[in-house]
Structure 1
Amino acid sequence: MINMAARVALRSYPPSFRERYGCELEALVEDTGAGPSVVADLLVGSLRAWLRPVMPDESAEGRRRRMQASVATTWVTWCAALYALPMLDFILSEEPGLTPDLVRRLLDVAQYAMYGAGLIVLTGGLAVLAETSRTGNRAALRPLVALIPTLPTWLIAPFLLVYASIDPISYWVGALAVLGPAAFLITMAVAPAVVVTRCRPSAKVLRLLALSGVAVAFAVTTTGIACVAALTMNTDDAAQLITMPILAVTVAASAAALVSSGRGAKAALHRERPVDLGGDV
C-alpha cells in the first residue's frame, strides 16, 4: 500500500520520467514499503531527475527535453534568488554602518539584474501561454490553480503580523503570517516549472526560452556573488550567522542555473533542428 507521502513524491518526478519508469517505480515502492527513508530517497531522486533528466535514445527529442528541463530549472533558481535578495537586504539594513559600500553596490547590481531577468522570464511565460492557448492544451495549465488558495495568505500576511504583535498569545496567527506566504512562494516557484514540462512547448519556443535562460542564469549568479560578498565583508557575527542559509540557497541556485542553462543553450544551438513533438498537442 502506497501512502499519501509516497504518492506525492512519485508525482513530483518529471512527466517524461513517469512516462518511462513511473509504473516500475510505483511497483517497487509497493514491494519495499513506503517508509520515511523511502519517501526521502524518492524526493532526492525526483530532484536529480529534474536537474539531470533521462533522455531518450532519439537525439532530437533528447535535445528538446534538455531545453525543457533547462527552462524549468532556470525558473526555479530565479525564484529562489528573487526571494533571497530582499531578505539579505533587510538583514543588512539592520546594521547599515557595518555593511561595506562594495556590498551595497553589488546588491544594487543584483537587484537590477534580477528585474531585467524578470522581464525575460515574463516574455517567455507569455510566449508559452500564447502557444498553449493556440493549441488548446489548457489542461497543462492546471498546476497554476494551486496559486489560488495560497495567494490570499500572501496578501493578508502584513495584517496578520500586525494582529500577532498586538496579541502575543495568537501564535497561530503569526505562524500563518509566515507559513502562508512561504507556501505561496514555493508554489509560485514550482507550479510554472511543472506547467512548462506538461504543456510541451514547440521547439521554436523552447529554443527562445533556453537561450534567454543564459541571461537569467547570470542574473541569478549576481545575487550569489552579492551574498558571498555580504558574508565575507560584513563584520557583524549575528548578521553573518543569519546570512549563511541565504548564502547556501543562492550559491546552489547560481550553480544549478549556470549548469542547466548552459546545457539548454547547447541543445538550442545544435545544428539540427529539434523535432517539434509538442507543438500541436
Structure 2
Amino acid sequence: MIDMAARLALRAYPPSFRERYGCELEALVEDTGGRPSVVADLLIGALRAWLHPVMPNESAERRRRRMQASVATTWVTWCAALYALPIVNFILSEGPWPTPVLVRRLLDVAQYAMYGAGLILLVGALALLAETSRTGNWSAWRPLVALLPTLPTWLIAPLLLAFASIEPFSYWVGALGVLGPAAFLITMAVTPAVVVTRCRPSAKVLRLLALSGVAVAFAVTTTGIACGAALIMNTPDAAQLVTMPIPAVTVTASIAALVTAGRGAKAALHREHPVDLGGDV
C-alpha cells in the first residue's frame, strides 16, 4: 500500500504524465515503499514533469500540451514573484539603514508590473470560466477546493503571530501562524495550474492564455530584477547572506517564466495545419 504522502506526491504530477506513466510509477512506489527520500524524489520529478512535460508525437496535441504547460508554469512563477515582493518591502522597511530613492522606485515599478500581470491573468481566468460555462466541465475546477482548508490559516495568521509574541511559550501557535499561510500560498500557486491542465481549453482560449503569458513573464522578470537589485544595493554584506534566497527565487522564477512563455507563444503562433488544437472534452 502507498501511504498518503507518496500518494499526494504522485498526484502532483501533470495529468498527461499520469496518463502515460502513472500505473508504472505507482507500482514502482509500491515496490520501494513510501520512504521520505522516495517522496522527495517524487516531488522533484513532479516539478521536472511540469517544467518539461511529456509531449506526444502528434503535432497538434504537442502544441496543446506545450501551451498548457506554459500557462501553468507562468502562473506559478508569477505567484513566486508576487510572494517575494512584500517580503523584500518588509525587509527594507524594517532595516536600520535608509532606503535609497532609486531602490524604492525599482520596487514601485515591480509592484505596478505585478498588478498589471494580475489583471492579465484575471482576464485569462474569466475567458476560461466562460468557456467552462459553455462546456459544463465544472469538475475540472475541483482542485480549487484544496484552498478551503488552508484559507482560515491565512486569515487568522496575524492573530496567531500576535498571540505568540505575547506568550513566548506558545511556539506551536507561532509555527501555525507561519506554516498555515505558507501552505495556503503554495496551494494557491499549484491548484490553478492544475485547473488549466484539467480544463483542456479550446484552441482559441489556449492561444489567448499562452500569448498573454509573455506579458506576465516580463512582469515577473521586472520583479526579479527589482527585488535582486534592491536587496543587493540596500543591505550590508553580512545581511546579504540571509536575504540571498529571495533574489535567488525571483531570478529562478524570471528565467523559468521567460523560457516557458517563449515556448508557449511559439506553439500558439504555429499554424502548420488549419486544425484546431483540440475541441471541448
- What is the RMSD computed on CA atoms of the aligned residues? 1.6
CA distance in 2, matches of 1:39, 1:161: 31
Tell me which moved more, 54-63 or 266-275: 266-275
- Superimposed CA distance per residue, residues 93-148 of structure 1 (whole angstroms, 9 cap, x where no aligned partner): 12374433222211111000000000001111111111112111111111100111
Stretches of structure 2 that go unaligned for 5 or more consecutive residues are: none
Structure 1 residue 249 and structure 2 residue 265: aligned? no
- Per the alignment, residue 131 of structure 1 pairs with 131
- Per the alignment, residue 276 of structure 2 pairs with 275
CA distance in 2, matches of 1:168, 1:38: 37
Note if contact 2:88-2:231 (Cα within 8 Å) is conserved in structure 1. Answer: no
CA distance in 2, matches of 1:159, 1:21: 45
Q: Which amino acid aligns with 1:138?
A: W
Note if contact 1:61-1:275 (Cα within 8 Å) is conserved in structure 2. Answer: no
Tell me which moved more, 197-206 or 38-47: 38-47
Note if contact 2:63-2:277 (Cα within 8 Å) is conserved in structure 1. Answer: no
Note if contact 1:124-1:209 (Cα within 8 Å) is conserved in structure 2. Answer: yes
Percent of aligned positions that are identical:
84
CA distance in 1, matches of 2:146, 2:244: 31
Aligned residue for 1:25, secondary structure, equals: helix
- Per the alignment, residue 237 of structure 1 pairs with 237
Note if contact 1:92-1:239 (Cα within 8 Å) is conserved in structure 2. Answer: no
The equivalences for 1:111-126 within 5 A come to 111-126=111-126
The equivalences for 1:21-40 within 5 A come to 21-40=21-40
Q: CA deviation at 1:35?
A: 2.6
Note if contact 1:227-1:247 (Cα within 8 Å) is conserved in structure 2. Answer: yes
- Superimposed CA distance per residue, residues 5-26 of structure 1 (whole angstroms, 9 cap, x where no aligned partner): 2211111110011111111222
Note if contact 1:63-1:274 (Cα within 8 Å) is conserved in structure 2. Answer: no
CA distance in 1, matches of 2:153, 2:34: 32
Structure 1 residue 191 and structure 2 residue 226: aligned? no
Tell me which moved more, 241-250 or 112-121: 241-250
The equivalences for 1:94-243 within 5 A come to 94-95=94-95, 97-243=97-243
> CA 1:99–1:271 in structure 2 vs 1: closer, same or farther (change >3 Å)?
same
Stretches of structure 1 that go unaligned for 5 or more consecutive residues are: none
